[in-house]
């Protein structure tokens, strides 16, 4: 397993539409293991492949119930259906340096995807779990959580980022 470098905004790879996964092979398995390792190292609760520079439709989502556990779900080609309810909650992103903001998301969603072997998955997700999946699926479409904010907040973040990058 290898810890990969996480790509950060405004790198254009984060804006790419991810390509559908069609081969469920050992390379995909290796990729998702590296993604999980990278996510836990960060640490984060979800990671999309384009965050390590690979614009393909696969995400990993942490589903651990205990602190030292490393249990995660791999979703390839995930699609969100039937969003219900609207809830506001704080989000951050490993690709958006030093920033958190409240974002509106569906409270409940139905998700279809495939697992590592290409088997069809279908399940419902609510609350925090639903929020993480919506955030990760956004990544696959080239969308970041900051895109959901007002122009004013986006402008404020761009200024903040300029200062952060200057001091690096």
Give the residue numbers annotated as catalytic, written as ranges: 136
Which of 31/93 has CB closer to Ni ion?
Answer: 93
In the complex, minimum distance from the CB of residue 94 to Ni ion, in angstroms, rounded to a whole number:
6
93 three-state secondary structure = strand
Radius of gyration, alpha carbons of the chain: 16
Residue at shortest CB range from Ni ion: 93
151 three-state secondary structure = helix
In the complex, minimum distance from the CB of residue 124 to Ni ion, in angstroms, rounded to a whole number:
22
In the complex, minimum distance from the CB of residue 82 to Ni ion, in angstroms, rounded to a whole number:
23
Q: Name residues contacting Ni ion, limited to 27-66 (CB under 5 A).
A: none
Residue in 60, 61, 75, 93 binding Ni ion, rule: CB under 5 A = 93
DSSP 115: -
Spatial separation of the C-alpha atoms in residues 159 and 143, rounded to whole Å: 20
Strand partners, 125: 109
Longest dimension (CA), the chain: 47
Which of 96/113 has CB closer to Ni ion?
Answer: 96
In the complex, minimum distance from the CB of residue 138 to Ni ion, in angstroms, rounded to a whole number:
8
Which of 28/93 has CB closer to Ni ion?
Answer: 93
Which of 52/68 has CB closer to Ni ion?
Answer: 52
Phi, psi of 12 (to 5 degrees): -65, -20
- The contacts of residue 18 (CB under 8 Å, 6+ apart) are 48, 49, 50, 55, 56, 57, 58, 139, 140, 141, 142
Q: Which residues would be at the binding site for Ni ion (CB under 5 A)?
A: 93
């Amino acid at each position: 397993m290898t810890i990969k470098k996480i790509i950060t905004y405004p790198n254009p790879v984060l804006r790419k539409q991810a390509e559908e996964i069609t081969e469920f092979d050992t390379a995909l398995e290796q990729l998702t293991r590296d993604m999980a390792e990278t996510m836990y190292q960060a640490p984060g609760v979800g990671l999309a492949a384009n965050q390590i520079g690979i614009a393909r439709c696969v995400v990993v989502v942490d589903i651990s119930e205990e602190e030292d556990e490393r249990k995660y779900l791999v979703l390839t080609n995930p699609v969100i259906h039937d969003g219900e309810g609207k809830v506001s909650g704080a989000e951050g992103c490993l690709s958006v340096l030093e920033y958190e903001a409240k974002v509106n998301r569906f409270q409940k969603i139905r998700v279809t995807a495939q697992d590592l072997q290409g088997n069809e998955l279908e399940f419902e997700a609510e609350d925090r779990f639903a929020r993480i999946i919506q955030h990760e699926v956004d990544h696959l479409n080239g969308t970041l959580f900051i895109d959901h904010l007002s122009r004013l907040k986006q402008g404020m973040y761009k200024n903040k980022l300029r200062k952060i990058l200057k001091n690096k």
